[in-house]
Structure formats: structure tokens, C-alpha cells
Amino acid sequence: MSSRSIAGHEIRRLLRDRALLVLLGLMVALAAYAAWNGSAWVGQREAAIGLLKAEEQDTKDRSRGFVGKAPSVLPRVQPVLPPGPMAALSVGQAEAYPYTADVVALGDRSQLLRRVWSDVGNPAVQAAGRFDLAFVIVFLLPLVILAATFDLWSRERERGITALLLSQPIEAGRLIAVKASARAAIVLLPALAIIIGVAACSGATSPTGLAVLALIVFAYGSFWIAVAVLIGCFARRTTEAAIAAGALWLLIVVMAPSLVLAAVDLMVPSPSQMELATALKAQLADTARQQKLRHAAEPPAMRSPAPRIADAVRVAYADLVQADQAITPLLAAYAEAEDARRQVLDRARLLLPSVAVQDALDRLAGSDADRALAFQQQVLEYWQARRQLQKDYLDRDEPQTLAEYNALPRFEFQDTDGLPQRGVLIDLAALAAATLLLLIAAWSMRRRLATP
């Protein structure tokens, strides 16, 4: 009995099974809806960004009339984080972070993002997750694969033909490998084609992105094929194999991520935003009180000749800088606590195949936490640059000119080159390692294949 004949038999048997066609048809319908849902979300986000840009331009146009009448005119700017070219693939953590900011040059740093937290979506939606293609891949693709491969060897055991099959000139390990490969070709490859097709139709048209998506789906599907192979090594009845497949799906996809997150919450709890807001408010109030007392005790000296820009403006700017310096340690401590927690979660994902795949899809779609945090860092740098403009006008003692106003820099988010790809490669490496461990475990149990 050759490998080709074994594979041909498996393929013919699966093709005669109408349940497989039903499963693939259901996957087409769910993937299409998920793709439409992701595309609709991208459209809503782009429409909101368009409104923000129009409002920002209107503010800039209305502020033009004040140029020359004040030391500087730095109108409110609302930077935005645009969706990536593969954004329809996975909403991911995009709704857990602000996609816009509120940059007021003479405002304090703590207000950059606080005013836009109301734009973050419903917490219930964040907890459940959007029904996007990433959800189909992470949660539903394993069910389709397991439904077609859970009885990889248990059916032969129930029929009592294991001894007959193993009497042929073929090793048990090779036999199970050929059967698994044949089923993977009939189930995984069509599922891969469905996912790539609907992703392209949803607007994710980047050739490189689609190629990486295909690699992620193939690697994740291979992991679940390896799970089925392991089940086939010890399950003696079809019912046992079905129960084991369902239990492993529930453990790997649902329970393990929740348990790991609970453990991380106990070891490295998330810093409290409420405590931070309270501490910032108290610190700013205390700083303002000290400044008021100092100004009352030390009135500013009168200069002769008087500068073109009044010294009171310089005093107000110095007070703003002092207030920023006062709250910087509080913000730094909060950011450090968040970074420590994020690093633990980042390492934990490598132990969880479903989380690693979700992370890879988020990075591919540009909806990951690293991109959102890079946006926040760039917003901070942009705000600091606008603050520096105010200082430059004060230092030269010349008000802003209309030409300088027209040349004010605009915010453009710059994606971090190489970082998403590096994260995806790490996720794929973790997934490949998990698949290899399963195959090694199955190979060590190959002698059990002969057990009736």
C-alpha cells in the first residue's frame, strides 16, 4: 500500500462526506460577514477621521485673523491614527486606544488624550471582540479543522481494521502522517483560499499583507492538524476523539487565555487611571497655589524699554513649563507600570497559540497596541514641538508672522518600519514551536497506533 493510495482513499472519503461541504459553505458565509463587518468598521473610522480633519482645518482658518495680534497663534490640532491597509482583517485593540488626540500647545500634557477617551467603544464590545476575520480564524477555523480530522485513527480502531492496515508494508507513523496530510489538503487549503479571498474583497489588497496572512493561517491550521494527530494516537473511540477535540479547543482557545490573563492581573495588576487622575489634579492644584504665592511675594520687575511681547506672557509660559515638570514623574511612573504589565503579557502570548495568532493578525492589520502607543508617543513629540515654537517667539521677542502661521507643521503618523514584521515573525516562531512539540509528542506515542 503506497502513500499515494492512502492519500487518495482519504480524499475520496472526505469528498463523499456532505458534512464537509456544509462546513466549508458555513465558513464562506461567516467569513464574508466578518469581512463586511471589518470593512464597515474601517469605513466608520475613516469617516470619523475625515470629520476631525475638516474641523481642524476650520479651526485653523478661523484663527488666521488673530495672527499678529498675539505672540503666537497655535490653533488646536487633532492628530489621527489612520487605519492600516489591512485594517479590515482585524479590529484588534484599535478600539481600546484613542485614535485621535487633542493638542493644545499651551495646555498641559495630561490633557492630550484625556478628552478623547469618550471615543473609545463600548467596553462590552471590547470584551467580546468584534466579529471580524481574525475572530473567524482564531475561533472558527480550528473547529472546522477538528470536525474533519478528529477521527483520524479512531474510526479504524472502532471498525477493527487497524491490524489489517498495519500489516501492510508501511510504518504507523508514516501512515498517520499521510492521512493527516490528505485531510489537511481537503480542509485547510480550501479554508485558506476562502479567507484570502474574502480578505481581498474587504479591501485588504496589499499583496505582501495577503501573503503574510496566508502564512499565518497555514501555520495555525497546521497546529490544529498536529492536535488531531495527537488525539489519534490515544483516542480509541470516535466519541472519545470528539470529546478530546472539543475539550482541547475549549482549553487552548477560550480557557487558557482567560486563565493566563487572570494570573497576570494578580502578579502585575494594571495601574489605576482613577488614581492617576486624582494625583494629577492634586499636583496641578498644588503647583498653581505655589506659583500664585510666589508671584504675590515677587512681583515681576518692569523693564525699560518694554519688550514687544509683555513679560507677563513669559511668566505664564514659565508657569506652564513648571506645571509640566511637576506632573512628569507621575506620568512616568504610570507609564512604567503599564510597560511592565505589557511586557509580561507580551511574553505570555508566546505560550498561547491562539493569542499568538491573534497578535500576529493585529500587527498585520495595524490594530495592535504597539502601533497605538507609537501614535501616542508621536503626539507627545508633536505637542512638545508646538510648545517650542511658543518659546522661540518669546526668545526673539517678535510675534508670529502670517508666513510662519501658514507654515505650521502638520501631524502625519509615521509607521514604525520593521516592528510589526518582527512581531509577526516571533508569533509564527512560537506557533511553529508549539506545532513541533505536538508532533514530537505524537511521534513518541506512535506505538499506540497499533493498540485496538
Distance CA 41, CA 396 (A): 48
Alpha-carbon torsion (394, 318, 107, 325), positive or negative: positive
Beta bridge mates, 310: none
pLDDT score of 218 more than 80 = yes
Where residue 366 falls (left for φ over 0; alpha for ψ -120 to 50; beta otherwise) is: left
Q: Provide the whole-model pTM.
A: 0.91
- Number of helices (H) and strands (E), helices first, in the chain? 18, 0
All three cell numbers of 384, joined, read 512638545
What is the C-alpha separation between 304 and 217, in angstroms, rounded?
A: 74
Provide the angle, in degrees to the nearest 10, between the axes of the packed helices 369-396 and 353-365: 40
| pLDDT bracket for residue 109 (50, 70, 90) | confident
Given a cut of 50, is residue 316 above it in pLDDT? yes
Phi and psi torsions of 70, nearest 5°: -140, 160
pLDDT at residue 118 greater than cutoff 60? no
Examine the pLDDT at 161 and tell me if it is beyond 80.
no
The grid coordinates listed for 81 are 491614527
Q: Where are the alpha helices (DSSP H) in 107-252?
A: 111-114, 123-128, 133-135, 141-149, 154-159, 162-166, 172-201, 207-234, 238-249
440: pLDDT strictly greater than 80: yes
* CB 106, CB 390: distance < 8 Å: yes
Euclidean distance between CA atoms 175 and 169, whole angstroms:
10
Confidence of residue 38 (pLDDT cuts 50, 70, 90): very high
